[in-house]
A and B are shown apart, each in its own frame.
Chain A
Amino acid sequence: MSELSARDKKAGEARGEGAALSIGGHFRGHLREYGMLLALVVIMVFFQIVTDGTLMRPVNLTNLILQNSYIVIMALGMLLVIVAGHIDLSVGSVVGFIGAVAAVMLVHYELPALFVIPACLVLGIAIGAAQGYWIAYWRIPSFIVTLAGMLVFRGLTLWVLQGQSVGPFPRSFQLLSTGFVPDLFGPDRPNITAILLGAATAAAIVFLAMRNRRRHVQYGIEDEPFAFFVAKNGLIAAAIVFLSYMLATYRGFPNVLITMAVLTAIYTFITNSTTLGRRIYALGGNEKAAKLSGIQTERLTFLTFANMGMLAALAGLIFAARLNTATPKAGVAFELDVIAAVFIGGASMSGGVGKIVGAVVGAFIMGVMNNGMSILGIGIDYQQVIKGLVLLAAVIFDVYNKNKSS
C-alpha cells in the first residue's frame, strides 16, 4: 500500500476514535511538501548565521528579491512546461533577445516604454508559439526544438545588439525592475504601505486556508491535525509580516515583488482550480489517455509554450531594466537555474507532477544559496559545485521518498 492510502487509513482510524491526529505522522506524510519549505528556512538561517546577519538585512533582502524575480517568473511557466511533459532550454536566450530588442527600441528608436513593454511581451508569445508549433503539431521533441531556439535567439541577440551593450534606459522603463511601491503615508521609514500590504496578504492567506479547511472538514476529508494547521499558518503569516517589516525599513516593496506575487497567485489559481490547469496535468500524466478523453493535447502543448515565451519575455524586460543595459551575454545559463528550481520544487521529469508553490520555493532556495555564498565570498567555481549537488540531493530525496512509500 502506498504512503497515501496508509495515511488515509490512519486518518480514518483517528476520526473513528475521535482522537487527534499525530502531528509527526502528518508531517512525515507530507514530507515532500513541507520538506522544501523547511529546507529553505534552514538554508536561510544557516546563511544568516555564517554571514553574521548580512543575509536578512533589509538591503540584502530587497536585493535577493530583485535578483531572483526573473528566475521565479520563468519558473512559473517552466513548471507548466515540465508538468506537460516537456522542457524549454531556450528561455535564457529569449531573455537576452527580448532585452536586446527592448533596448534597441528604447534607446535607438526612442519608443516609449508603454509601447515597448507590451510589444516585447507579444514578441515573447510569438517566440514561444513558434517553438510550441513544432513541438505540439509536428511532434518534434521539445529538447531539440528549444535547443535550436537557444542557439537561434542567442545569435539573434548578438545580431540585434551588434555585439555591443545598449543602454541606459529611460527612467520609466527602469521602474519595471528597480521601482518601489510608493508609501501613501509619507516618506518616513518604515514604509507603512508595505507593512499594511504584508499584513493584508498574510490575512488573506490565513483566510483562504481557513475557508479551505472548513470545506474539507465539512466533507470529512481533512487529515491535517488542527494544531499543525494553526502552527503552519501562524508561521507563514508571521514570516510574511516579518519580511514585509524588514523590507519596509528599507525602501518598501519593490514593484517586481508585486508582479511576482500577483503572477504566483494567478498561476497557482490556474493550476489548482481551472479546467485548463487540470488538463495540463492530465496531458503530462498520460498523454494518450488525455487525448482519448477528448482533450486537445496539441493545442494545450502549444499554449504552454506560448505562455512560457511570454514569461521569458517579461523576465527579459525585468532583467534588462535591472542592469539598465542590454548585453549580448544577458540570460546565459538562466534556463538551467529555472529548470533546476522547478525540479528542486518537486516536479517530475516524466510530467504530470509539480506545484507552482514548489517551483517558487525551489527558485528561492537557489537564490538564497547564490546570494549567501556570494556574501561569503565563495568563488563561482565552488558555487556551481554546491548548486549542482543541491539539485541532485533534492531529486534523490524525492526518488528515495517515492520508493519508500511504494
Chain B
Amino acid sequence: MESILEMRGITKSFPGVKALDDVNLKVARGEIHALVGENGAGKSTLMKVLSGVYPHGSYEGEITFEGKPVAFSGIADSERVGIIIIHQELALVPLLSIAENIFLGNEIVRGGVIDWPETNARTEKLLRKVGLDERPSALVDTLGVGKQQLVEIAKALSKEVKLLILDEPTAALQENDSQKLLDLLLEFKAQGISSILISHKLNEVSRVADSITVLRDGRTVSTLDCHSEAISEERIIRDMVGRDMAHRYPERTPRIGETLLEVKDWNVWHPLHADRQVIRNASLKVAAGEIVGIAGLMGSGRTELAMSLFGRSYGRNISGTVRLRGQEIDVSTVGRAIDAGIAYVTEDRKALGLILEEDVLRNTTLANLARVSRSGVINDAEERQVAEGYRRRLGVRTPTVFQKVMNLSGGNQQKVVLAKWLFTEPEVLILDEPTRGIDVGAKFEIYNIMNELADEGKGVIMISSEMPELLGMCDRIYVMNEGAIQGELSRDEASQEKIMSMIVRSKENV
C-alpha cells in the first residue's frame, strides 16, 4: 500500500536524555495506525516532532509526507499540509461557542468582519459529520468531555485534514462515548483520511487499528500488521515492557514489621464535577519497613488517592478510615496529617513541593518550623544545623544551604523536598513519582534513601509510572486503574506483563 507518511531515523535529544533514538514510523494512506508504549516511551515526543512543535533542525532524521520531504518549523506548517493533531488536554476556549472555537484563528471573514451565517452553516455541517447534535452557538463550557472531544475533531475537519493524530482521545471518555469516537475514526478511514491513534487501551487498539507501532525507551520495537496475522494483546504488552532489568536498583533485604498504615474504603469525588467519583473503595496497607508501590497509568487516580489522604488536599465528599498502628487518625487537614505522622512528597516538585525563590535552608525547615523555633522566634543556629545535617545526609550538591533551590538540578531539588519531609519525622512517607525527570545517578541515590527509610522501620509508599522502578524497589505493588485498586501483587509474582494486563483488562470488566 502507498504510504502517506514516513518518518525515518528520528532522533531527538534533550539535555541529558535521548528521548527518541532512531525511530521509524510508516503510515499507509487511509489506515488507522496505532502508536503504543509506556509513559515516557516517546510517543508524544514523536508526535511533537511530526507536528512541528519541535521544529526542523532540532531533531535528526527525515520526514516524508505524501512522497515529498517536509521540514516544519511550527504547527502552522504541518496544519497547512493537512496534519492535524488533537492533544490529550483539549485546546478549546470554554467560554466561546462551538462555532467560534472551530474557526478560532481561521475565521471566515468578509471585509474584515466575521460572516456569522456562513460560519454557523459550516459549523452545522461539520457537527453533522462528527455526529454531534448541538447548536453552533452553544458554549463549549456546557458540553461534556466526550462532546468536547467531538468539537475538537470537527475543528480538525474544518481544515484540510489528511492525517489526523489523536493523543489518547478516549482517556477521559465513558465507554459509549469511546465507542462512538472509534466508529467515527472508522468512518473517516472509509473517506480516505488516515489517522494515528495513541492509546493505552489495547482492546480499542485491536478493534480499529490496521497496524501498530510499539515504542519503548525512545526506540521503535516493532511494527505489527493486524491484517496479515492476529495480534494478541499479550504480544503487544510484551513488546511494550520487555526490557532488561540490570542492577539499577540497590539491594535490600526487607525486614517487614507490624502493619503501620491502613486505609479502608476510601472514596473521593471530583472537586468540580460532583457526580464524578475519582477514587472508588480503595483499601491498602503498609507495614513498618515495607516499600509498597502503586502502579497505574497517568489519570488512574494514584495522585488523587495520595493527595486526598494527605489532609484532603484533593477532592470532596471524602469518606473512609485511616488507621496508624491500629488507631484511627485524623487526616482532615495537612497540618493534622503531618502531626499524625504522614508525609507526602508531591509529584510536581516545582509547582507543589518547593518555594523556588527561597534557599535550601528555608525549604528544608518549612514543614516543621516549630522544631527550630521557640514561641514563634526562629533559632538561626539550630535551623542551620538541621539544614546542614540533611544536606550531608542526603548528599544535596550545593555550595551552601543558602543557595536558592531554583539553581539546583532536578535530582538535588528532589533531595531538598525529601529533606523537608524527613524533617517532619513521618512514620509513613508517600512518594509520588520521586524520580521523575532526574538523571540515573540521582535516581539511584533516591532509591538508597528510600531503602534506608524502610530499614529504619518507616512505611514507604511509592507511586510511579515507571514499572521497572516499582518492580525493582517494592515489596508489594497495588495496581490502580479508573480510581480503583484492581489488584495486588507480591514481589515474587509481580511482573510488567501482569501489571499491564491488570491495567488494560480492568476496563473490560467494568
Q: Mark A residues whose CB is within 8 Å of B.
A: 1-2, 4-5, 8-9, 12, 215, 219, 221, 273-276, 278-279, 281-282, 285-286, 288-296, 352-353
For A286, the chain B residues whose CB sits under 8 A away are 351-352, 354-356
Closest to B378 in A: A273
B420 x A293 contact (CB < 8 A)? yes
- Interface range for B: 35 or more
For B384, the chain A residues whose CB sits under 8 A away are 219
Q: Which residues does chain B contribute within 8 Å of A273, judged by CB atoms?
A: 377-378, 380
| 23 sample A-B contacts, Cβ–Cβ < 8 Å, listed by A number | A4-B403, A4-B404, A8-B400, A9-B399, A215-B380, A221-B402, A273-B377, A273-B380, A274-B377, A278-B378, A282-B358, A282-B362, A282-B366, A286-B351, A288-B352, A289-B351, A289-B352, A289-B353, A292-B353, A293-B366, A293-B367, A352-B358, A353-B357
Task: Please determine whether B334 and A274 come into contact, CB atoms closer than 8 angstroms.
Answer: no
Contact string, B355-378, partner A, CB cutoff 8 A, digits 1/0? 111100010001101100100111
Q: Is the CB of B376 within 8 A of A282?
A: no
**B357 touching A275, Cβ below 8 Å:** no
Would you list which residues of chain B between 160 and 207 have a CB under 8 Å from chain A? none
Secondary structure at the A interface, as helix, strand, loop or mixed, is: helix
Closest 4 CB pairs of A and B: A285-B355, A293-B367, A294-B335, A275-B369
Q: Which residue of A lies closest to B365 (CB)?
A: A278
> Given the known A-B contacts A2-B407, A273-B377, A288-B352, are A293 and B358 also in contact in the complex, defined by CB atoms under 8 Å?
no
A285 and B407 contact, CB distance less than 8 A: no
Mark each residue of chain B from 416 to 428: 1 if its CB lies under 8 Å from any CB of chain A, else 0: 0000100010000
B356 touches A292 (CB 8 A): no
Closest Cβ of chain B: how far from A15's Cβ, in Å?
A: 11
A274 close to B376 (CB less than 8 A) = yes
The residue of chain B having its C-beta at the shortest distance from the C-beta of A269 within the complex is B377
11 extra interchain contacts, Cβ-Cβ under 8 A, other than A282-B362, A282-B366, A290-B355? A8-B399, A215-B380, A274-B377, A279-B369, A281-B355, A286-B351, A286-B352, A293-B367, A294-B333, A295-B366, A296-B335
- Choose one: B338, B373, B399, B406; the contact of A12 (CB below 8 Å): B399
Contacts of A291 in B (CB 8 A): 313, 334
A260 to B346, CA, bound (A): 43
| A9 CA to B346 CA, complexed, in Å | 31
**Alpha-carbon distance A316/B302, docked complex (angstroms):** 53
Question: Which residues of A have CB within 8 Å of B373?
Answer: 274-275
Contacts of B403 in A (CB 8 A): 4-5, 8
Residues of chain B contacted by A5 (CB below 8 angstroms): 399, 403, 407
A residues near B377, Cβ cutoff 8 Å: 273-275
Task: State how many angstroms separate the Cβ of B428 from the closest Cβ of chain A.
Answer: 15
Tell yes or no: B1 within 8 A of A by CB.
no
Greatest chain B CB density within 10 A among A2, A294, A353 is at A294
Is B358 touching A285 in the complex (CB atoms < 8 A)?
Answer: yes
Question: Judging by beta carbons under 8 Å apart, are B376 and A285 in contact?
Answer: no
Give the residues in chain B near A219, CB-CB below 8 Å.
384
**Whole-angstrom distance between the Cβ of B510 and the nearest chain A Cβ:** 32
Please determine whether B366 and A2 come into contact, CB atoms closer than 8 angstroms. no
Contact of A215 with B381 at beta-carbon distance under 8 Å, contacts A292-B346, A294-B335 already known? yes
Report Cα–Cα, A355/B355, bound state, in Å: 17
Bound complex: CA A219 to CA B380 (Å): 11
Closest to A352 in B: B357
CA distance A293 to B355 in the complex (A): 11
CB distance from A11 to the nearest CB of B (A): 8
Most chain A CB within a 10 A radius of its CB, from B344, B400, B420: B400
Q: List the A side residues contacting B313 at CB < 8 Å.
A: 291-292
Nearest CB of B to A33, in Å: 15
Instruction: List, in ascending order, chain B residues with CB within 8 A of A279's CB.
Output: 369
Most chain B CB within 10 A, of A215, A273, A296, is at A273
Query: Does A285 lie within 8 Å of B335, measured CB to CB?
Result: no
- Residues in B neighbouring A276, C-beta threshold 8 A: 376
**Which B369-417 residues have C-beta < 8 A from chain A?**
369-370, 373, 376-378, 380-381, 384, 399-400, 402-404, 406-407
B residues within 8 A CB of A282?
A: 355, 358, 362, 366
Bound form: Cα–Cα A101–B485 in Å: 63
**Nearest CB in chain A: distance from B378 CB, A:** 6
Contact with A along B211-229 (1 / 0, CB 8 A): 0000000000000000000
Let me know if B378 and A289 touch, CB within 8 A.
no
301-343 of chain B: CB within 8 A of chain A: 310-311, 313, 333-335, 337-338
Of the candidates A281, A288, A296, which one forms a contact with B358 in the assembled complex, judged by CB atoms under 8 Å apart?
Answer: A281
Check A4 against B407 for contact (C-beta < 8 Å): yes
B333 to chain A minimum Cβ distance, whole angstroms, is: 8
A353–B359 Cα distance when bound, in Å, is 12
Give the chain A neighbours of B376 by CB distance below 8 A.
274-276
The answer to whether A278 touches B352 (Cβ under 8 A) is no
- How many angstroms between the C-alpha atoms of A112 and B154 in the bound complex? 75
Find the residue from A1, A286, A291, A352 having the highest chain B CB count within 10 A.
A286
B346, B357, B381, most chain A CB atoms within 10 A: B357
By CB atoms of chain B within 10 A, which of A215, A285, A289 has the most? A289
- Give B415 Cβ to nearest chain A Cβ, in Å: 16
Instruction: Closest B residue to A220 by CB, please name it.
Output: B400
Q: Provide the bound-state CA to CA distance between A353 and B335, in Å.
A: 25
How many angstroms from the CA of A277 to the CA of B402 in the assembled complex? 18
Chain A residues closer than 8 Å to B370, beta-carbon distance: 275
- Closest B residue, CB atoms, query A351: B357
Closest Cβ of chain B to A353, distance in Å, is 6
Do residues B378 and A292 form an inter-chain contact, with CB atoms below 8 A?
no
- Using Cβ atoms and an 8 Å threshold, which residues of chain B touch A281? 355, 358, 362
Q: Which residue from chain A places its CB closest to the CB of B366 in the assembled complex?
A: A293
Min CB distance A266 to B, Å, is 13
Contact present for B351 and A288 (CB under 8 Å): yes
- Tell me which residues across on chain A come within 8 A of B355, comparing CB atoms: 281-282, 285-286, 289-290, 352
Query: Contacts of A295 on B, CB cut-off 8 Å?
Result: 366
Per the bound structure, the CA–CA distance linking A4 and B356 in Å amounts to 14
**B355, B362, B384 — which one has the most chain A CB atoms within 10 A of its CB?**
B355
CB-based contact B335/A278 at 8 Å: no
**A249 CA / B358 CA spacing, docked (Å):** 45
Give the residues in chain B near A1, CB-CB below 8 Å.
Answer: 407
Q: Which residues in B have their C-beta under 8 angstroms from that of A274?
A: 373, 376-378
CA separation between A286 and B377, bound complex, in Å?
Answer: 22
List A contacts of B337 (CB < 8 A).
294
Closest chain A residue to B335, Cβ basis: A294
Q: Give every chain A residue within 8 A of B378 (Cβ-Cβ).
A: 273-275, 278
Partner of B344 from A275, A292, A296, A352 at Cβ < 8 Å: A292
Contact between A285 and B334, CB atoms less than 8 A apart: no
Q: Kindly list chain B residues whose C-beta atoms are within 8 Å of the C-beta of A294.
A: 311, 333-335, 337-338, 367, 424
Are A2 and B404 also in contact (CB < 8 A) when A219-B384, A274-B376, A276-B376 are?
yes
Q: In the bound complex, do residue A278 and residue B369 qualify as a contact, i.e. CB atoms below 8 Å apart?
A: yes
Q: How far is the CA of A9 from the CA of B407 in the complex (A)?
A: 13
Provide the bound-state CA to CA distance between A95 and B311, in Å: 40
Q: How far is the CB of B191 from chain A (nearest CB, A)?
A: 46
